[in-house]
Structure 1
Amino acid sequence: MANKNFHLKGKGTVAVHGGNEPDPQYAHLTPIYASSTFYFDTAQQGMERFAGADKTKIYSRWGNPTHTVAEQKIAALEAHGLTDEDGSPLQLKALLHSSGQAAMTTLFMSNLSAGDKILTHYSLYGGTQELLTKVLAENGIQTIITDLRDRELAVAAIKNNPEIKMVHIETPANPTLQCVDLEMITVLAKQHRLVVSVDNTFATPYLQQPFRYGVDFVFHSTTKFLNGHGTSIGGVLLGRDLQFMSTKAWKWYVLLGGNANPFDAFLLTQGMRTLELRMDRHCSNAMAVARYLENHPAIAKVMYTGLESHPDFEVAKKQMKHPGGMLSFELKGGVETGKQFIDRLQMCTRAVSLGTVDTLISHPASMSHASIPKAEREGYGITDGLIRMSVGIENIEDILADLTQALAE
C-alpha cells in the first residue's frame, strides 16, 4: 500500500492507490464490511464517535469503511493536481449513495428551498430532468432552462430570475453531447453568488476536472464509467466546502436514506482501479467509430465532441483531456431505419446505461428519455431517430464490422 506521504503523480496511479486505508487484518484489498452497526469499546468512545466529524463507525446508513475507501478514491481523482485559494492541495468531501438519483436528490435538497430557482440547460439525463421538473417543482423549487452555451442567454436568465440559487451543468450532456463552457459559466455564476454543480458522469475525473474552474459540487452516476463493468448501481456527491458536506449535505444524505451498500462500494472500488486504461481505450475506439460514421452514406449526423463538426468542439477541447467514449448519431431513414439498425446488431449490446466495457447502443426517445414529452424532447435535440452509443473496449475492428453489417441495406 502506498504511503500517504508519497506524492502520486499520475491519475492511473491514483485510481489504483488513492483513498486506500490500511486494513487491521492486513487484507490487500479493502474488505466488504457487511455490518449494519459497529460496536464501542466504552461508553466514552461511543460518545466521541457521535460527537466527532467521522461517523463512519457507528451505523452503516451513516457511513461504512468500505464506502469510505470508494469516497476517498473518487475525491483523490477529482482533486488530483488541483489547489485551493491559498495554494494548498485541494481537499474534497465525497458522499457515496445508493444511486445517481439519490446523490442528485441530496445535492438539490441540501442546497435549495421552496421559493428558490435552479438554472440549467437543454438535454439532460431523463432522470435528472424529471427530478427537476416534477419532484422539485412539487416542493416549490422552479427550474429555469436555457442554452447555457450562450453567455448572453445565461446572463438574461439570471437577471430575470433573482430567485436563482444554483446553476446545474451536465457536460458533455446526455445524449446530445452538448458541452457547456465550465469556466465561463462558473465565473458568471460567482459574480452573482450562485452555487454551481456539475454532472461529470460522461467525462469522469480522468478526462475532466470541474473543480479546476471553481465549481462547488461535482456529481457522478458511479454506475457508469467509474464502475466500468455494469456490476453495481451507485452515485456520488463531492463538495469543496468540507463543513457543508460534513453537516448539512451529510444530514440530508442520512435522513433521505440514500446511502450506498458495502458490496456495491467494493465493486466500484475495484472497477476504478482500471479507470485510466479503460478510458484510453473507450476514447480511441469512440474516435474511430465517429470518423467511420461521419463518412457513412446512411448516416445523416454524428454528434461526438472529438469531431470538428461538433458545435462545441473547441469547448470540449479546452476542458477535456480526450473527447470521451460517448457519441450519438442519426440515420437518414429516421426512427424505422433506426429500429432496423438496432435489431441487426450482432455483437454490440442493445441496452440502456453506459460506460461498461462492452459497447451499448440505445434509442433515447423510446428508452432513457421516453418520459419527456416529444415536443420538449425534440426541442432539446433528442429526435425520434437519435441513436446513443457507449463505445466499449472491444477490438475496434469488431465494433466497426458489427456497425457495417447492421447499416448495410
Structure 2
Amino acid sequence: MADKTFTTKGFSSAALHAHNNLHPNSAHTTPIYASSTFVFDTAQQGMERFSGQQEGYVYSRWGNPTFADAERVIEALETYEVKDDNGQPLQVKAILHASGQAAMTTLFMSNLSAGDKMLSHYSLYGGTHELVTKVLKECGIEAIISDMRNADEVEALLKQDPAIKLVHIETPANPTIQCIDIAAISAIAKKYNCIVSVDNTFATPYLQRPFALGADFVFHSTTKFLNGHGTAIGGVLLGKDLDFMKTKATKWHRLIGGSSNPFDAFLLLQGLKTLEIRMDRHCANAKQVAQYLQQHPSVAHVNYNGLPTHPGFAITQKQMSQPGAMVSFELEGGLDAGIKFINKLQMCIRAVSLGSVDTLISHPASMTHYGVGAQERLQYGITDGLIRMSVGIESVEDIIADLEQALEG
C-alpha cells in the first residue's frame, strides 16, 4: 500500500487529493454510491451507527460516501492555509445539501429561534432576501437589513439590540457586486456575542477564505463556481464549531430533508478538480470585459470590484486574491436598451445562474430578484435596467465581440 504520509501544499493539489479516500475495487475517482440505504453486519452495529457510537453509513439522507468525499474537498479548500487560534490548521465540518437554499435554511434554522433577530445587508441574492424577510418572519425571526459597509452602523445596531444573534454577509453581493469587510464586521460581532456567516459563492475559497477573517460559518451554492459546468444543483454549509455541526446542524439538516444526491455530488467533485485554473481564466476575462464596458459610450455604469471606481475596490484588495468573475452594468437607455441588448446576443447565453464555464447574462429585476419589491430593489441599486453577467472562460476576444455587436445601435 502506498505511503499516505505525504502532505500536499498547493490549492489545486488539495482540490484533487483532499478526500484521500480508498474505495472498493481500487476506483480512481470517487464512485457514485447510488444506494438509498446501507447494510449492517449485525443488529448491534446498526444500533451503534444510529446512536453515533460507530462511524458508518445508515441512510443516504443521513450521509453517503460520495457526499463525504465532496465535503472533505470543500473543507480542505475553505481552510487552505488557515490556522486556528492555537496556530494549528483549522478544522471545520461541511454538510452537503441538495441546493444552496437548503444549506441556507439549515444555517438559519439551526442557529435561530422564534424571538431572535438576524442582521444582514441589502443587495442580497433574491432567494436569500425572500428567505430572511418572508420565511424566517413566519417563524418569528426578524431580519434587520442595514448598510453593512458602515461598521459604525453595524455596531450601533448590535449594541442596542441583544436579540440579534447572527450576522449574515454576502460578499461580493448579488447583483451589485457590493463588498463587505468580513474581518471588520466579524470583530464587531464578536464583541456582542453574535455569530457570523458568510456566503462565499461569488468568491469561492480560491479567491477568499472567510474563516481566516473571523467567520463562524461559510456557505456556498455549489451549483455555481464550485461545480462550474452548470450540471448539478447543490449547496454546502461549513462551520468551525465541530460539536455544533455534528449535532444540531446535522440534526436540522436531516430533519429538514435537504440532502444531496450521489450523482450531483459526483459532478461537484469533478468540477472542484479544476477550480483554480477555471477561476484564473474567469477573473482574467472579467477584468478585460469590465474595462471594455466602462469605456463604452452606451454603458452608463459598471459594477465590478476590480475597477478602482467601484466602492468595494479597497475591501477587495484587502480580503480577496482576485476580484472574481461577476460584472453588472446598466445601459444608457435603461430597461428598453437592456432588453434589446440581451435579445441581440449571439454567443453569450441568456440564462439565470452563474459560475458556469460559459458566459451567462440575465436581467435581475425580472429574474433572480423578481420576488423582491420594486421599491426595495431600487433602494438596493437593482434598477430595472441592470444587467448581470457571469463572465465565462471563452476566448475573451469572442466575449467582447459579442458584447460589441449587441451594443451597436
TM-score tier by shorter-chain length is over 0.9
The answer for the alignment partner of 2:332 in structure 1 is: 332
Contact 2:342 2:406 in 1 (8 A): yes
**CA–CA distance in structure 2, aligned partners of residues 75 and 5 of structure 1:** 19
User: For 1:22-77, what per-residue CA distance to the aligned partner results, in whole angstroms no more than 9, with x for missing partners?
Assistant: 11210000000000110011222222222326765110000000000000100000
Structure 1 pair 344–2 and aligned structure 2 pair: CA distance change class (3 A): farther
Deviation at 1:269, TM superposition (A): 0.4
Q: Are 1:402 and 2:402 an aligned pair?
A: yes
Contact 1:56 1:62 in 2 (8 A): no
- What pairs with 1:3-402 in structure 2 (closer than 5 Å)? 4-52=4-52, 57-402=57-402
SS of 1:90's equivalent in the other structure is coil
Contact 2:45 2:54 in 1 (8 A): no
Structure 1 pair 348–3 and aligned structure 2 pair: CA distance change class (3 A): farther
Amino acid at match of 1:83: K
**CA–CA distance in structure 2, aligned partners of residues 286 and 368 of structure 1:** 21
**CA–CA distance in structure 1, aligned partners of residues 96 and 335 of structure 2:** 38
Contact 1:56 1:68 in 2 (8 A): no
Segment of structure 1 superposing worse, 201-210 or 48-57: 48-57
Segment of structure 1 superposing worse, 1-10 or 104-113: 1-10
Contact 1:99 1:258 in 2 (8 A): yes
**CA–CA distance in structure 2, aligned partners of residues 54 and 168 of structure 1:** 35
Please list every run of 5 or more consecutive structure 2 residues that lacks an aligned counterpart in the other structure.
Answer: none
Amino acid at match of 1:339: I
- TM-score, normalized by length of structure 1? 0.98
Structure 1 pair 7–144 and aligned structure 2 pair: CA distance change class (3 A): same
**CA–CA distance in structure 2, aligned partners of residues 259 and 323 of structure 1:** 32
Deviation at 1:159, TM superposition (A): 2.2
Structure 1 pair 96–54 and aligned structure 2 pair: CA distance change class (3 A): farther
**CA–CA distance in structure 2, aligned partners of residues 55 and 157 of structure 1:** 43
Contact 2:159 2:192 in 1 (8 A): no
Contact 2:328 2:386 in 1 (8 A): yes
Segment of structure 1 superposing worse, 14-23 or 106-115: 14-23
Amino acid at match of 1:407: L
Contact 2:79 2:90 in 1 (8 A): yes
Deviation at 1:86, TM superposition (A): 1.3
Deviation at 1:19, TM superposition (A): 1.8
User: For 1:115-165, what per-residue CA distance to the aligned partner results, in whole angstroms no more than 9, with x for missing partners?
Assistant: 000000010000000000111000000000101110111112112322000
**CA–CA distance in structure 1, aligned partners of residues 205 and 344 of structure 2:** 35
Amino acid at match of 1:405: Q
**CA–CA distance in structure 2, aligned partners of residues 370 and 30 of structure 1:** 39
**CA–CA distance in structure 2, aligned partners of residues 5 and 299 of structure 1:** 55
**CA–CA distance in structure 1, aligned partners of residues 270 and 296 of structure 2:** 38
SS of 1:247's equivalent in the other structure is helix
User: For 1:374-393, what per-residue CA distance to the aligned partner results, in whole angstroms no more than 9, with x for missing partners?
Assistant: 01111001001100000000
Structure 1 pair 4–72 and aligned structure 2 pair: CA distance change class (3 A): farther
**CA–CA distance in structure 2, aligned partners of residues 72 and 54 of structure 1:** 19
Segment of structure 1 superposing worse, 71-80 or 157-166: 157-166
Please list every run of 5 or more consecutive structure 1 residues that lacks an aligned counterpart in the other structure.
Answer: none
User: For 1:216-248, what per-residue CA distance to the aligned partner results, in whole angstroms no more than 9, with x for missing partners?
Assistant: 100000000000000000000000001000000
**What is the total number of aligned residue pairs between the two structures?**
409
SS of 2:25's equivalent in the other structure is coil
- TM-score, normalized by length of structure 2? 0.98
Structure 1 pair 3–244 and aligned structure 2 pair: CA distance change class (3 A): farther
SS of 1:25's equivalent in the other structure is helix
Structure 1 pair 182–54 and aligned structure 2 pair: CA distance change class (3 A): farther
Alpha-carbon RMSD across the aligned residues, in angstroms, is 1.2
Amino acid at match of 1:254: R
Deviation at 1:88, TM superposition (A): 1.4
User: For 1:340-362, what per-residue CA distance to the aligned partner results, in whole angstroms no more than 9, with x for missing partners?
Assistant: 00000000000000000000000
Amino acid at match of 2:334: G
